[in-house]
Structure 1
Amino acid sequence: MDKVAIGALAGLLGLGLYRVSQRAKQSRFPPGPKSSWWGGVEMPKLYPWLVFAEWQDIYGDVIYVRQFGSPILILNSQRAITDLLENRGNVYSSRPRRVMANELMGWDWMFSTMTYGPRWRKHRALFQKYFHVRTSSHYQPTQEKEAYTLLRNLLDTPEEFSYHVRRLAAAIFMNLSYGHQIKDDGDEFVAIANKATSNLARAGIFGTYIVDYFPWLKHIPSWMATFRRDAIEWRKSTETMINYPYDQLRERMAAGIAPPSFASSELENAMRSGITAEREQIIKNVAGMSFAAGSDTTASAVMSFILAMVIHPEIQLAAQEELACVIGTDRLPRFSDRDSLPMVECLVWESLRWNPVTPLGLQHFTTEDDVYRDWFIPKGTTVFTNIWKLLHDDEVYPNPLSFLPWRFMDRNKNDELGINPHPMPAFGFGRRVCPGRHMAIDTIWITIATILAVYEIRKALDKDGKPIEPDTEYVSSFLSRPKPFQCQFRPRSESARLLIRHSVEWPSAPIV
């Protein structure tokens, strides 16, 4: 046999062995719905977290599917998430390429969606420098001040409570990030945040648009694809959100009238040492990130609390009795009261658990081949974490669909029984856990405490004076929040009304 024939035979043998090895690997994929290479399995478009939870009964807690040739892993248990995202962070800490949201809509400055690597580490390090758990207490005066402003707004225009809650969240992060004081009745920056984050929610989870699977589609003309036209329009609000507040700050700094803030402090430090274009972009991105992330996720959790109080007046009353016993009726709650108000603390945790703000979190992405429980997980797999399922596991959270804040009250008993841990999965996992979670929890706490101290939250009444049952459904989007509903905010007494009107204006927190 000549050398050419031998080479050809070796090539065929090698190809055959490769195909055998690939089939062997595929035979070891985790179980999941049968899918073809091209079309894959039809991924659910409405409330995918609920469908994924149903799949667990069929396929188990680790589910593998393919969509347009792309591997997808769905994790439905804390065990699997801990094993992979927590213990194998070197493989599972990246993010998939989000063509629609990042490249077309312009959200590539959000370091929460950046791929794992040096660029992400630089952004996260700067964020943690200012918004770490050890610095969160420095911002509590600002959080108290804005919570008191919310009370006055609810007194003046209670029917606009949804807007007032979003204004609260935007105001806190605008003040800390840029030093901008949002007016009591709101201003253009609230509208900017609302529009931009609403568009992001519409862009959906990774894979909502086919361009996420076929990145080359981003180059087709806009007249040929609706998603291209949507992205062009939505990009305008994204660019406004990142550029406009920053440009305003730079103008104030040039005029010498910029108040203290994260961005102004960091820019001044960078200028003294010789600022670079990269450094300035990182400062700009991190300031925008805190504004964008804080203004929507915090607001969604507070809206869940309000909806729960409309449905459960008995829970509301129990928390108000605790507040009355601890602080009386002649002042508003402060962060210094926190350790004495366990019921309010339980309300915070249950508001985060009941309907998590990001039911599927932010998707992870494998950077290497891996083997887990004898299953093969290929490099380039997009990993979904079903946070909703984790926080509604009836073995971990008994009666999970009910709003039961008391479940968190007895920590020692819970630890003994292995139930009702604090719902920290709501903030993500591993190296990509939300670095601003401490500030978010603080904001939710002071908001809940101050509202309950002075207001009764009741069902709205129709024209005949009959109670209107609120819609308890949530939107099916990347950021889950209650669908619009009506309710009443009534001062608990005349003294409560006066307390709202004369609430103390606390000074802004210093930036350290």
Structure 2
Amino acid sequence: MDDLTLLTVFALGSCAVILLAQRLTTIQKAKRLPLPPGPKTTWLGGSQLPQTYHWLTYARWKDTFGDIIYIYAFGNPIIVLNTAEAANQLLDKRGDIYSSRPLRTMVGELMGWDWLFSGMPYGPWWRRHRTIFQKYFHINMSSDYHPGQILETHTMLRNLLVSPNNFNHHIRRTAAAIVLKIAYGHIVADEGDSYVALAEAAMRTSAHAGFFGTYLVDYIPILKYVPSWMPGASFKRKAREWRRLSREMLESQFEIVKQKMAKGTAVSCVATKELENWIDSDGDADQEELIKNISAIIYGGASAFITDAGSLLTFKFIAGADTTVSAIGSFFLAMVLYPDVQRKARDELDRVLGDNRLPSFADKSSLPYISCIVWECLRWNPVAPMGLAHYVTEDDEYNGYRIPKGSTVLPNIWAILHDEHTYPNPLEFHPERFEDQEKNRLAGVNEYPSAFGFGRRICPGRWLAYDSIWIVVASVLSVYKITAATDYKGTLILPSPEYTPGLISHPKPFKCRIFPRSEAAAALIRQTEA
């Protein structure tokens, strides 16, 4: 071994020793520090946890307890991060110990959602999932999906022309159609698609059970052994019923793809490409399971997301269907409540497109205000207000406080994106806040990390999600006008900007009027059918 090699080995070894010593010093120091402030725990061990709209309660608690809050519930230490600074310092810069996920007994074990890699602990099995997923959804692959996104958006434009009052259904169909074609080559029916109905039913159960602490078994895992017939064990009966949905969602389309491949009728998609690679390489059963998981995740939670992103459960649907639906729903609601924003967007579209064509992704750089609207939709009411839960694997210290090993760490994305110092008048829908990109960069405003998660668990499907929302916003505003509905007297009915509780937050149902801007716009819509 030459002198240069010896010197290199010695230098690397010295660095490793120094880093280890620093880490041990941090751990020892942390054990002597106080815990972050937080609400007192009663003798029952958990009555202080909010029951609904957790993000709003935690945001209010910030005024009392500060940027980070400590909660101890039934033996579970929980750390809530209410600021971007805290989230970035811990989840981004210390990703080596903050990138795992806590185990969630109800959703993962009992309900059968253990196949979602967004909820998997940090380790080799998770890395194998993410490696395959990123192969199809990194930023350089985005343009491959543009034709399909435009095709399904044009279908949405035609559907709105026929039944504008059914806009929520059209939003859902569009989001599902994009990701199901990518995952399975599945063409979504205009009405009554059986797989979409199955997946939505399955995801509704996960959204209900998804918040940590909804069921006592999350705090006390040994309760999973309680017989389902016992009083108080209704969670076991629900889990058994809900498990059937999650497993069917995982298995059904995958089996159809395999059958079509055997007949030679399969459409090229992620599932077929990976199965062909697996067959050619004589892969093991684990690899087939991984491919099955990835295919289902693209629909159920491509960011899983929703995304990896950071929350109270094990997954989120960023870049999957459900979160895209939420963001586009926010867009329609905002256009009703803020007509000046809609007017400014239409003026920009008219300058770039004229009145003889629909937008394409090639127009994105010429339509900066449309991009600002998309960012504001993601900020105004985040799709997953509490993101996904992180899990700290070693004792740590932050700002003089101890972060105990084994803590569930929750970034309050809603509070971060409603910080009035960074986003003045945060409850208002104001896309202009994103117009000065240099000023925003200096102020620490960065729309992607907070909306799509943090660190190594940031949503890997964020580029697909963003593009799907962008082309819908640009296309709808280029040909449609969205206004408040009216009652029988012609009085405007302004909806309230109210959102549902739960892991994925949607606008509560509201009515609006959607109609073509002109005869020329209606003609453009009809031309897309050719």
What is the TM-score when the length of structure 2 is the normalising length? 0.88
The reply on whether 1:75 has 2:81 as its aligned counterpart is yes
Residue type of the partner of 1:120?
A: W
Q: Report the CA distance between 1:25 and its aligned residue.
A: 4.5
Q: Which residue number corresponds to residue 470 of structure 1?
A: 495
Which range moved further: 460-469 or 106-115?
460-469
| Distance in 2 of aligned mates of 1:183 and 1:337 | 29
Residue type of the partner of 1:247?
A: E
The reply on whether 1:321 has 2:347 as its aligned counterpart is yes
The reply on whether 1:399 has 2:425 as its aligned counterpart is yes
Q: 1:334 aligns with which of 360, 366, 390?
A: 360
Q: Report the CA distance between 1:445 and its aligned residue.
A: 0.2
Q: How does 1:43-122 map to 2 (within 5 A)?
A: 43-122=49-128
The reply on whether 1:438 has 2:463 as its aligned counterpart is yes
Q: 1:204 aligns with which of 207, 210, 231?
A: 210
Task: Call closer, same or farther: CA 1:326–1:122 in 2, change over 3 Å.
Answer: same
Task: Call closer, same or farther: CA 1:414–1:429 in 2, change over 3 Å.
Answer: closer
Q: Which residue number corresponds to residue 245 of structure 2?
A: 237
Q: 1:138 aligns with which of 116, 138, 144?
A: 144
Q: Which residue number corresponds to residue 164 of structure 2?
A: 158
Q: Report the CA distance between 1:422 and its aligned residue.
A: 2.2
Can you list the C-alpha shifts for 1:285-331, whole angstroms capped at 9, x where unaligned? Answer: 01100111211011110000110001111111110111111011111
Is this contact kept in 2: 1:167–1:186, CA < 8 A? no
Q: 1:409 aligns with which of 432, 435, 439?
A: 435
Q: Which residue number corresponds to residue 452 of structure 2?
A: 427
Residue type of the partner of 1:384?
A: L
Which range moved further: 154-163 or 260-269?
154-163
Task: Call closer, same or farther: CA 1:87–1:415 in 2, change over 3 Å.
Answer: closer
Q: Which residue number corresponds to residue 180 of structure 2?
A: 174
Q: Which residue number corresponds to residue 524 of structure 2?
A: 499
Q: Which residue number corresponds to residue 380 of structure 1?
A: 406
Q: Which residue number corresponds to residue 253 of structure 1?
A: 261
Is this contact kept in 2: 1:63–1:73, CA < 8 A? yes
| Distance in 1 of aligned mates of 2:203 and 2:357 | 35
2:71 counterpart SS class: strand
| Distance in 2 of aligned mates of 1:257 and 1:146 | 22
Task: Call closer, same or farther: CA 1:27–1:419 in 2, change over 3 Å.
Answer: closer
Q: Which residue number corresponds to residue 456 of structure 1?
A: 481
Q: CA RMSD in A?
A: 1.7
Q: Report the CA distance between 1:38 and its aligned residue.
A: 4.8
What is the TM-score when the length of structure 1 is the normalising length? 0.91
Q: Which residue number corresponds to residue 447 of structure 1?
A: 472
Q: 1:357 aligns with which of 383, 398, 416?
A: 383
Q: 2:229 aligns with which of 203, 223, 226?
A: 223
2:466 counterpart SS class: helix
Q: Report the CA distance between 1:402 and its aligned residue.
A: 0.3
Q: Report the CA distance between 1:464 and its aligned residue.
A: 3.0
The reply on whether 1:188 has 2:191 as its aligned counterpart is no
| Distance in 2 of aligned mates of 1:101 and 1:374 | 35
| Distance in 2 of aligned mates of 1:428 and 1:382 | 15
| Distance in 1 of aligned mates of 2:104 and 2:171 | 29
Is this contact kept in 1: 2:449–2:458, CA < 8 A? no
| Distance in 2 of aligned mates of 1:77 and 1:414 | 16
Q: Which residue number corresponds to residue 37 of structure 2?
A: 31
Residue type of the partner of 1:310?
A: V
Q: Report the CA distance between 1:111 and its aligned residue.
A: 0.3
Task: Call closer, same or farther: CA 1:469–1:59 in 2, change over 3 Å.
Answer: same
Task: Call closer, same or farther: CA 1:316–1:186 in 2, change over 3 Å.
Answer: farther
Q: Report the CA distance between 1:269 and its aligned residue.
A: 1.0
Residue type of the partner of 1:137?
A: S
Q: Report the CA distance between 1:421 and its aligned residue.
A: 3.2
Q: Report the CA distance between 1:371 and its aligned residue.
A: 2.2
Residue type of the partner of 2:118?
A: S
1:123 counterpart SS class: helix
Can you list the C-alpha shifts for 1:32-85, whole angstroms capped at 9, x where unaligned? Answer: 112246514520012111111111111110111100121110111111111111
Q: Which residue number corresponds to residue 510 of structure 1?
A: none
Q: Which residue number corresponds to residue 289 of structure 1?
A: 297
| Distance in 1 of aligned mates of 2:445 and 2:355 | 32
Is this contact kept in 1: 2:389–2:408, CA < 8 A? yes
Residue type of the partner of 1:89?
A: G
Is this contact kept in 2: 1:407–1:420, CA < 8 A? no
Which range moved further: 216-225 or 324-333?
216-225
| Distance in 2 of aligned mates of 1:365 and 1:442 | 30
Q: Report the CA distance between 1:112 and its aligned residue.
A: 0.4
Q: 1:371 aligns with which of 379, 397, 401?
A: 397
Q: Report the CA distance between 1:338 and its aligned residue.
A: 0.6
Is this contact kept in 2: 1:96–1:363, CA < 8 A? yes
| Distance in 2 of aligned mates of 1:181 and 1:76 | 41
Q: Report the CA distance between 1:357 and its aligned residue.
A: 0.5
| Distance in 2 of aligned mates of 1:279 and 1:337 | 40
* Structure 2 runs not aligned, ≥5 long: 1-26, 302-319
Residue type of the partner of 1:300?
A: S
Is this contact kept in 1: 2:69–2:79, CA < 8 A? yes
Q: 2:515 aligns with which of 460, 465, 490?
A: 490
1:259 counterpart SS class: coil
Q: Report the CA distance between 1:501 and its aligned residue.
A: 1.4
Is this contact kept in 1: 2:40–2:48, CA < 8 A? no
Residue type of the partner of 2:182?
A: L
Can you list the C-alpha shifts for 1:354-397, whole angstroms capped at 9, x where unaligned? Answer: 00001110001111222222322221111110000110001111
* Structure 1 runs not aligned, ≥5 long: 1-20, 506-512
1:222 counterpart SS class: coil
Can you list the C-alpha shifts for 1:442-495, whole angstroms capped at 9, x where unaligned? Answer: 000001011101111111222333222213210111111111111111011112
The reply on whether 1:271 has 2:285 as its aligned counterpart is no
Is this contact kept in 2: 1:41–1:66, CA < 8 A? no
2:139 counterpart SS class: coil
